Structure 1
């Protein structure tokens, strides 16, 4: 009987061990599956966030490109209108002078509208550059209004101030274009 009891005890012990191993294995499998599922969910969540950020970045670049292009076009329109005013001062007398100044003023209003788009889309450097273009354009407008209709009535000081205002406006517009290139090309790298 000792052998029978020993075999029974060994069998029960083996069964308890096997059952314990099966339970431990099952618990391990459940934990492993849970950890795997959590990692998969985290990876999926991160992928969605990354994709969302990439799509937003692409959308923002497109919006900025459109706003910067519109700003540059408005600046060019203002430059042409200012140039027409400058050229007309040498005509004796120019009945269209006031109309040309009004055309330049309207071009500045259009530039102001486009500058507000840049202000919304940024970044800060572009907002500052657009503001500088607009400020120098307004200063040029002031100088253009100072110029008289006839060159002999325009002082050298007025001409010098107008030339400086023109140069500042052109330089600010070039700086805006360079900053736009850096933002748009640098962002796609």
Structure 2
């Protein structure tokens, strides 16, 4: 896979930019909210877990995890505050595939941001990163994320029973994917 650039974003409220260490407190603040993690596999113990995750994103390589900031779009061109993230938990050069993941602060829900960002990141992976497949694993209880994926053109491929342990309990996930045309 080529060296990462930034996925283009045409949503009027947000932009995609590099994730910064200074973003971590904002990221952690909303990832601690019960309504955010209820239907996800996030299992943070404290803010240090996010710093360790951030550090893993700093390792450059074609198969390393990759994450970008979703930030408020500022009219003056300045860097906006982080309101979410999008990226790829897994990337495979051999199989030309990636697993997308995203999160968004609840104050920004319901504005089409998650769908626009998911679509932008997926198109970027399929086109500029030459992926053949972008997939997503979503807890079968996460109706909002399922809607986002379906609006972004992902198709449900299957149901994965007890696929990942989520806060100590086995979680069932749906597998969604978009493939290159």
Instruction: Determine if the TM-score, normalized by the shorter chain, exceeds 0.5.
Output: no
TM-score w.r.t. the length of structure 2 is 0.24
Higher-Rg structure is 1
Higher percent of residues as strand: 2
The structure whose residues are more often helix, as a share, is: 1
